[in-house]
């Protein structure tokens, strides 16, 4: 029998004797069977390996969906002629998930009709925020604190909020009045910056 260290899927390059050929074929068949390739078929079955699982984990957690989140309003404050209000995203699922970027936010009246344009993005840099079950992240909306440099729109009763990367929205009760044509939202983060 001739020992070979060549890959079982590559053709053997050594000349085998009649006595060594059956043993070499048996060894190649065993190696292919171990690799999950069956003789006489054109398909191979792949299974998840620890390395593949590690690669998926390295890619990070899945993106949070609206079903994973409870959306509410947090702290409201005025400063330097502006009014700030945090939109709070709480992970209510049983696994961690991630949010990245800006939510979509618009003001609605009691009949759920939009008042004015949707919030513009503040342009603040952002990164991915990973939420574990029960933990929160925030995005801050801003307008002026009264008619400074422009009139105020009629008051809204709800904010319609789309989490980042979501095509589904939730209505959050929120008494909000956009003034001076300024209505912007910051990215989701742990600090809630604008």
Which region among 32-36, 62-66, 78-82, 184-188 has the lowest average model confidence (pLDDT)?
Answer: 32-36
Domain map (residue ranges) of the chain: 20-58, 66-185
Q: What pLDDT sits at residue 57?
A: 52
- What's the whole-number mean pLDDT along residues 126-139? 97
Q: What pLDDT sits at residue 10?
A: 39
Architecture of the 66-185 domain: Sandwich (2.60)
Model confidence at 3: pLDDT above 70 = no
Average pLDDT of the chain, as a whole number? 79
What's the order of all strands across the beta sheet hosting 69-79? Answer: 69-79, 82-91, 136-144, 184-185, 120-121
Q: What pLDDT sits at residue 11?
A: 41
Location of structure tokens 């590559």: 10
Q: pLDDT digit string (tens) for 5-60?
A: 444 443 433 344 444 444 444 544 444 344 443 333 333 333 334 444 344 456 78
Rounded CA separation 185/158 (Å): 15
> What are the phi and psi torsion angles at 54 (to 5°)?
-65, -40
């Amino acid at each position: 029998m001739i020992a070979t260290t060549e890959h079982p899927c590559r053709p053997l390059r050594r000349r085998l004797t009649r006595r060594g050929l059956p043993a070499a074929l048996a060894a190649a068949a065993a190696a292919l069977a171990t690799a999950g390739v069956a003789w006489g078929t054109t398909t191979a079955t792949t299974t998840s390996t620890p390395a593949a699982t590690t690669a998926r984990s390295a890619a990070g957690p899945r993106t949070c969906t609206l079903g994973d989140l409870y959306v509410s309003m947090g702290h409201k404050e005025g400063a330097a002629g502006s009014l700030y209000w945090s939109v709070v995203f709480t992970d209510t699922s049983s696994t961690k998930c991630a949010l990245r970027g800006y939510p979509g936010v618009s003001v609605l009246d009691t009949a759920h009709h939009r008042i004015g344009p949707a919030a513009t993005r503040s342009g603040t840099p952002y990164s991915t925020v990973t939420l574990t079950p029960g933990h929160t992240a925030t995005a801050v909306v801003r307008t002026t604190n009264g008619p400074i440099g422009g009139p105020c729109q009629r008051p809204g009763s709800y904010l319609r909020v789309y989490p980042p990367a979501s095509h589904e929205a939730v209505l959050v009760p929120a008494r909000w009045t956009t003034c001076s044509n300024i209505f912007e939202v910051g990215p989701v983060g742990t600090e809630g910056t604008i």
